[in-house]
Structure 1
Amino acid sequence: MDPLLLAAIVAIATILVLFSGVSVALGLLIVSAGFLIVFDGMRSLELLPEIFFGKLDNFALLSIPMFIIMGAAIASTRAGADLYEALERWLTRVPGGLVISNLGACALFAAMSGSSPATCAAIGKMGIPEMRKRGFPDGVAAGSIAAGGTLGILIPPSVTMIVYGIATETSIGRLFLAGLMPGLMLVGLFMAWSIWSTWKTGDATALSAGRYSWRERLEILPRVLPFLAIIAGVLYAMYGGIATPSETAAVGAILCLVIAIVIYSMWSPRAIWSVLRDSTKESVMILFIIGAAGVFSYMLSSLYITQSIAEWIAQLDVNRWVLMGVINVFLLVAGFFLPPVAVILMAAPILMPIIETAGFDAVWFAVVLTINMEIGLISPPVGLNLYVINGIAPDIKLKTILMGSLPYVGCMVAGIVLLCLFPGIATWLPDLVMGDMP
């Protein structure tokens, strides 16, 4: 059978299996085993366990559960509420200051937790009621935090970037650095939109907030500075050559647990057990998908699908930016239906040969891919962040949350365009700190 025709059949079968309701990892294993049996016979199944566990035999994978523990420890405390309150006290007199406070708190909490749902939940519980109380429309209150929560998979440390680095054999440290400037760029775009829209509508609610004294502004800082110091320390240890990503993640996880216990009095064994239990569940889910994606990649390569698609793309006489536009549309649609980790692990074996053939930088592409995944987090039908916000404020309709987040989707699209026009936004810092890639 023609490999390209087979690729289309595999794609349709994968979509149907995943839409049947089975988990992503199990669906990938079912599709992989089915096609290998049909085309290579039953003996091909003997290799699958070795491939599955071989994909997990990677020291860098240890950083995933460690960073998840960091996020879970922070999310289990009032750190999000303290971040929100600190920024509100400092930005209360800025036009649109309350929305900006929410977005800033989302960015900082994202940097500490690396989790989009956790960011939405932590900041949303404080920010949404406060904005609604001060007269902001429901769409603005919910949409801004849904969008701000997406920053959790871009601003380092990011589990999504770790998965991409493992899937494509790209330096995780370089990927973390690559996500920093684009993450700040998105924060800036989000805030600029908030200020402009508030000024345009003449929203007086942003200017009617109470004043805070310098004493009130400074007294909240000691509760949030330790967490920020941990993030700074983790990044310094990683890029200063002191430790590997896995080692720094382990130290960061322990320190976050210690601070959660000392500052926020999380002494209860039940609370600590809850953090470890939830972290284990999420880690196992991600690692299961990684192992299954390794089997799926082997199936694609064994049936010569990956190589045929790369060759077909290389023979197309199209501008490479047209090709990148098609890839972005593909990623955007995939992100509407699948979680970021699944999209990365499924698409990387197919897309990386195309990206390299077209002359694009793999680190730069990681940022573009991640922003596409961010859009998927606030887009139906999956739109995980939309449902998290709806769970926090069930009286706000999903349609209202979606409409409120649409302007921020426009900001993300603008961010992708800026990255295409000025790729140095993503590559400058990694090249400066770690040197040019060979």
Structure 2
Amino acid sequence: MDPLVLGGLVALVTILVLFSGVSVAMGLLIVSAGFLLTFDGMRSLELMPEILFGKLDNFALLSIPMFIIMGSAISSTRAGADLYEALERWLTRIPGGLVVSNLGACALFAAMSGSSPATCAAIGKMGIPEMRKRGYPDGVAAGSIAAGGTLGILIPPSVTMIVYGIATETSIGRLFLAGVIPGLMLVALFMAWSLYSTWRSGDAERLGAGRYSWAERFEILPRVLPFLLIILGVLYAMYGGVATPSETAAVGALLCLVIAMVIYKMWSPRAIWVILRDSTKESVMILFIIAAAGVFSYMLSSLFITQSIAEWIGTLEVNRWVLMLVVNAFLLVAGFFLPPVAVILMAAPILLPIITSVGFDPIWFAVVLTINMEIGLISPPVGLNLYVINGIAPDISLKTILVGSLPYVACMIIAIILLCLFPGLATWLPEMVMGASL
């Protein structure tokens, strides 16, 4: 069978299997085993266990459970509520300042936890009721938190960036740095829209009500600063040549646990056990998907599907930006149905040779891909953040949450366009700190 036709068949079968309800990892293994057995015989199946476990034989993978523990320790405390309250006290006099405070808290909490659902849950529990009490529309209150939570997979340290780096053998340090400026740009776009929408509604003065003394503003800072110092310390250790990403993640996880115990009095062994248990579950899920995606990539390569797709695209006489538009459309649709980790592991090894062959930077592409995944997190039918927000505020309908988040989807599309016009937004900081990539 022609490899391109076989590739289309693999894509169709993979979609059907994943839609059947099986886990992503098991679905990828089932598809891989089925096609290898059918088109390559029993011999290829003998290599599957070796590939499955060999894909996990990577020192960089140690950073994933460590960063997850770090985020879980923060998520299990009142750190999110304190972040929200601190920003509210400092920004409350700004018209529309409460929604800006929520977005700022989402950005900071995302940097500490690296998790979009955790960010939505932590900030949303405090922010949504407060915004509704102050008179903000339900769509604005819910949509802004749903969109702000997506920042967790872009702003470093990001587990999604680690997965991309491992899947494409790209420097994780460079990827983290590449997400900084685009992440801040997205925060600025979100805040700008929020201020504009508040001004346009004519409720600017009413929604800017609230007054705190300087003593109240400074009183809450000691509870927030230690976590922010950990983030700065983690980034300094990585880019100052002090430690590897895995070693830095381990120290960061330990410090977050210690701060949770000291500042938030989390002395109960049961509470520590819950953090470790939940972190282990999430880590195993991600690592299992990584291992299964390795087998899936082997199947595509063994049946010459990857090579044929890359060769076919190379023969197309189209402008490279047209090609990038097609790639973005594919990623956007894939993000509607699959979690970011699954999309990256399945698509990145195929897409990377294609985009590099036409002159695009793989670090820049990682940021564009990640923003596409952010859009998927607040888009039906699988938009995870929509359901997290609905769980926090069940009296707000999914339709209202979705409509409220649509302006922020437009902000993300604008960010992708800006990255295409000015690639240096993603590549300048990595090159300045770590030098030009070879």
TM-score by length of 1: 0.99
Q: In the alignment, is the contact (CA less than 8 A) between 2:92 and 2:210 conserved in 1?
A: yes
Deviation per residue, 1:165-187 (Å, 9 max, x gap): 00000000000000000000000
- In the TM superposition, residue 209 of structure 1 has moved relative to its aligned partner by 2.3
Report the residue type matching 1:260 in the other structure: A
CA contact (8 A) 1:67 1:114 kept: yes
Aligned residue number for residue 356 of structure 2: 356
Q: In 2, are the aligned partners of 1:178 and 1:364 still within 8 Å (CA)?
A: yes
| Change over 3 Å in CA distance of 1:276–1:205 after alignment to 2 | farther
Deviation, structure 1 residue 200: 1.0
Q: Does 1:216 align with 2:216?
A: yes
1:133 and 2:133 correspond: yes
**Matches of 2:206 and 2:260, distance apart in 1:** 33
Q: 1:294 maps to what in 2?
A: 294
User: Shift of the alpha carbon at 1:204?
Assistant: 4.0
C-alpha distance in 2, partners of 1:69/1:286?
13
Cα-Cα RMSD = 0.7
Q: CA deviation at 1:348?
A: 1.3
The yes-or-no answer on 1:12 pairing with 2:12 is yes
Provide closer, same or farther for how the CA distance between residues 231 and 297 of structure 1 changes in structure 2, counting only shifts above 3 A: same
Tell me the distance in 1 between the aligned counterparts of 2:205 and 2:82.
22
Q: Does the CA contact (< 8 Å) of 2:94 and 2:208 recur in 1?
A: no
Matched, 1:88 2:88: yes
| Structure 2 residue 372 is the aligned partner of structure 1 residue 411 | no
Contact kept, 8 Å, 2:98 with 2:208, in 1: the verdict is no
Is 1:25 aligned to residue 25 of structure 2? yes
- Whether contact under 8 Å (2:320, 2:358) holds in the other structure is yes
SS state at 2:326 partner:
helix
Q: Secondary structure at the match of 2:179?
A: helix
> Take 2:275 and 2:293, find their aligned partners in 1: how far apart are those partners?
27
SS at match of 1:318: coil
- Distance in 2 (CA, whole Å) between partners of 1:86 and 1:205 is 21
Letter paired with 1:387:
Y
- Change in 2 beyond 3 A, CA 1:162/1:319: same
Indicate conservation of the 8 Å contact 1:260/1:266, yes or no: yes
Give runs of aligned pairs for residues 316-327 of structure 1, distance below 5 A: 316-327=316-327
Quote how far apart the aligned CAs of 1:205 are. Answer: 6.1
**CA displacement 1:247-300 (0-9 Å, x = unmatched):** 000000000000000000001101000000000000000000000000000000
Per-residue CA deviations over 1:376-401 (Å, capped at 9, x if unaligned) read: 00000000000000000000000000
State whether residues 135 and 205 of structure 1, in contact with CA within 8 Å, keep that contact through their aligned partners in structure 2: no
Cα distance in 2 for partners of 1:321, 1:355 equals 10
* 1:101 pairs with 2:101: yes
Q: CA 1:206–1:365 in structure 2 vs 1: closer, same or farther (change >3 Å)?
A: farther
Is residue 341 from structure 1 mapped to residue 341 from structure 2 by the alignment? yes
Go from structure 1 to structure 2 and tell me whether the alpha carbon gap of 1:206 and 1:436 turns closer, same or farther (over 3 Å shift): farther
- Aligned partner of 1:239 in structure 2 is 239
CA contact (8 A) 1:75 1:113 kept: yes
Q: How far, CA to CA, are the matches of 1:209 and 1:48 in structure 2? A: 62
**Partner Cα separation in structure 1 for residue 355 and residue 54 of structure 2:** 26
What is the alpha-carbon distance in structure 1 between the residues aligned to residue 374 and residue 406 of structure 2? 12
Deviations along 1:124-155, whole A, 9 cap, x unmatched?
Answer: 00000000001111000000000000000000
Paired-residue identity, %: 86
Pair 1:276 & 2:276 matched? yes
**Is the contact between residue 37 and residue 44 of structure 1 (CA under 8 Å) also seen in structure 2?**
yes
Distance in 1 between residues matched to 2:106 and 2:208, nearest whole Å: 23
Partner of 1:379: 379
Which runs of 5 or more residues in structure 2 are unaligned? none
* 8 Å CA contact retained: 2:153, 2:159: yes
Partners of 1:308 and 1:163 lie apart in 2 by 25
Tell me the SS of whatever aligns to 1:56.
Answer: coil
Q: Residues 6 and 264 of structure 1: is their aligned pair in 2 closer, same or farther, counting only changes over 3 Å?
A: same
**Offset of residue 349 of structure 1:** 1.8
**1:77-124: CA deviations, max 9, x gaps?**
000000000000000011210000000000000000000000000000
CA distance in 2, matches of 1:331, 1:116: 18
Letter in 2 for 1:249: A
* Residues 1:120 and 1:206: Cα distance change in structure 2 (over 3 Å): farther
Contact 1:134/1:205 (CA < 8 Å) preserved in 2? no
Q: Distance in 2 between matches of 1:253 and 1:302?
A: 39
Alignment check: 8 A CA contact 1:70 1:257 kept: yes
Aligned residues: 438
Q: Which residue number corresponds to residue 142 of structure 2? A: 142
Task: Determine helix, strand or coil for the equivalent of 1:347.
Answer: helix
Rounded to whole Å, the distance in 1 between the matches of 2:377 and 2:413 is: 14
TM-score, reference length from structure 2:
0.99
2:419 & 2:404 partners in 1: Cα distance?
25
**Counterpart-to-counterpart distance in 2, 1:6 and 1:77:** 50
Question: 1-side partners of 2:170 and 2:26: how far apart?
Answer: 26
The equivalent residue for 1:195 is 195
CA contact (8 A) 1:105 1:123 kept: yes
CA distance in 1, matches of 2:245, 2:265: 28
Structure 2 residue 424 is matched with structure 1 residue 389: no
Contact preservation (8 Å) 1:98, 1:206: no
Counterparts of 1:154 and 1:206, CA distance in 2: 33
1:83 alignment partner AA: L
In structure 2, what is the equivalent of residue 75 of structure 1? 75
2:164 maps to 1:154: no
Q: Secondary structure at the match of 1:379?
A: coil
Distance, in Å, in 1 between the alignment partners of 2:54 and 2:227 is: 35
Superimposed CA distance per residue, residues 16-41 of structure 1 (whole angstroms, 9 cap, x where no aligned partner): 00000000000000000000000111
Residue 370 of structure 1 aligns with an amino acid whose one-letter code is T
